[in-house]
Each structure stands twice: as C-alpha cells, then as structure tokens.
Amino acid sequence: MRGKKRGAMTDKLMAQVEIDTIERTKCRGSGKISFRSYAEAKFFMYWMKWRYSKRIKAKRKKRLNKPKVRYVYACELCDGYHLTKIHPYDHDKNKKKWEAKYFNVAY
C-alpha cells in the first residue's frame, strides 16, 4: 500500500510539470541538448523515464524505444550538462585513448 501512495504522488507531480519550463539549448561542440544545471538534467532524465513508463502501459501493442540515458555529465565546451548512456569511467577511458591516438598525449 505504501508503494502505491508514493507512485500516485510521483504521478501527480510529474503530470503537473511543464517540461517547457526547463531551458534547453544545443551544444555547438557535441550537438547534444545542453541543460543549465545538473539538477535540471537529472530531473529531465527521470521525467523521460516516467513518461515512457506511462506511455508503455497505455500503448502495449505499439513498440516504443525505452530511454537509455542514465548519467549526467558536465560539458567542457558549453559549460552545460548533457545526458548520456555511457558510464563516466568508460567515457574517461575512451577519452584517454582518443587523446593518445590523435594528440600523442602520454598518460
């Protein structure tokens, strides 16, 4: 019973939120959506997942793509925050490989 109340409260809150109030812009460096703060990006990620869960129950027959974003990271290019599905550790590892390959930076 307790879980149902909590779910109902979340549904009420998320349904009232107008997602247009969160300011989003495009990052010129990566082309991704950029958020002003970490909290806005994290909230948008949870809102997308909530919206998907409600749509999937309503439309069982239609195939919908589940949002795979799980992490928020700070962008060095636009000083904003982006959403990604890549774990931060894997991102750092890939970034080091890329820099070593193209910039000959030794780690």
- For residue 25, the cross-strand partners are 34
Q: Which two tokens stand for residue 103?
A: 């910039």
Orientation angle between helical segments 2-16 and 38-58, nearest 10 degrees: 110
Q: What is the pLDDT of residue 1?
A: 43
Q: Is 87 helix (H, G, I), strand (E, B) or coil?
A: coil
> pLDDT tens, position by position, for the chain (107 residues)?
454 555 676 677 767 766 666 667 888 888 888 998 898 888 888 888 877 777 656 555 556 667 777 889 888 888 899 988 888 888 888 888 888 888 875 55
Task: Please report which helix (H) or strand (E) contains residue 49, including its range.
Answer: helix 38-58
